Amino acid sequence: MKGTFQRLLFLPILAFLVFACEEPMREDPFVGVGAARWDVGKSANFLLSDDRFTAMEIEIAYMEGFRPTNFMMDEMTNFLQDLTLKPDGIHVIEKEIPAEGEEFYTTAHLSELENRYRESYNEGDTVSVFLLVVDGYFRQNEEEYFTIGAAYRNTSMALFGKRIAENSGGFRRPGRGNLEATVALHELGHLLGLVNVGSEMVTPHEASDEDHKFHCDNEDCLMFWAVETSNVLNFMQNSVPELDENCRNDLRANGGR
Ligand SMILES: [Zn+2]
Ligand SMILES: [Zn+2]
């Protein structure tokens, strides 16, 4: 009699446990490959603030012959240290990948290369950024915009090494490190949500021209549209342009420093 009573009490508990185990484990949507498949600007707050991620890793994969300058890598780290809250540090890892030998790269091709070579994804307290340096030019919508760099996903950006080589060094041209750093910081600015692409504008300052959406209206600002194209040569000085007050304010308002 006593045994039956115990069994009756025990069975419902067991049933409950089995049911609880069948409930699928909730996956963290902010880590791993899935969290690197969003649109540009959608990780701005994760990159800027220390609410979810307290460290940052930048993985640079460059094609043979297109290793970025140390100057560019240092500038990227300094830029991010100035603007973001990452008390556990910002860390750069670099690696060489085989040259593809293509003249033009589409966004689809960049994504495919990223799938093949990217190893660093958001994990634990670390948010990750991927920079791909390719040996050719960018082709978007069958047209060629003399693009030097592009941000193409929430934590992914690319530099077009051939354009950099063509447009730097020599007479009346910026040094390669300067040009590379300028474009890399501009693309990082997009990942941080500038302009109006993930970090809300405190004061309206997006270029009114339809062709230059998501860029700053101040031509002295790092986020002016021409900065990522060959047009940068027309106004580039001997140093990397800085973010203007409007852009800085947007980043502060979205959790940045
Ligand atoms: Zn841009
Ligand atoms: Zn600006």
What secondary structure does DSSP assign to the chain, as a single string? -HHHHHHHHHHHHHHHHHHHHHSPPPP-TTSSGGGGSS-TTTTHHHHH-SSS-SEEEEEEEEETT-PPPHHHHHHHHHHHHHHS--TT-EEEEEEEE-----SEE-HHHHHHHHHHH-----BTTEEEEEEEEESSEE-BTTB---BSEEEEETTEEEEEHHHHHHHSSSTTS--HHHHHHHHHHHHHHHHTTTTTSSS--SS--B-SSGGGTTSBS-TTSTTSGGGGBGGGGGT--SSPPPP-HHHHHHHHHTT--
* Span from the CA of 40 to the centroid of ligand 1 (angstroms): 11
Which of 88-102, 116-130, 173-187 shows the lowest per-residue confidence on average (mean pLDDT)?
Answer: 173-187
pLDDT tens-place string over residues 81-106: 999 999 999 999 999 999 999 999 99
* Span from the CA of 60 to the centroid of ligand 1 (angstroms): 19
The confidence band for 5, taking pLDDT boundaries of 50, 70 and 90, is low
* Span from the CA of 186 to the centroid of ligand 1 (angstroms): 6
Q: Which domain holds residue 48?
A: 2-253
The answer, as to whether pTM is greater than 0.95, is no
Q: What is the mean pLDDT of residues 31-48?
A: 97
The confidence band for 7, taking pLDDT boundaries of 50, 70 and 90, is low
* Span from the CA of 226 to the centroid of ligand 1 (angstroms): 8
The confidence band for 1, taking pLDDT boundaries of 50, 70 and 90, is very low
- Which ligand approaches the C-alpha of residue 145 most closely? 1
The structural domain count of the chain equals: 1
* Span from the CA of 15 to the centroid of ligand 1 (angstroms): 57
Q: Which residues surround ligand 2, an ion (CB under 5 A)?
A: 216, 218, 221, 223, 244, 247
Which CATH number belongs to the domain containing residue 244 in this structure? Answer: 3.40.390.10
Q: Is the pLDDT of residue 146 over 60?
A: yes
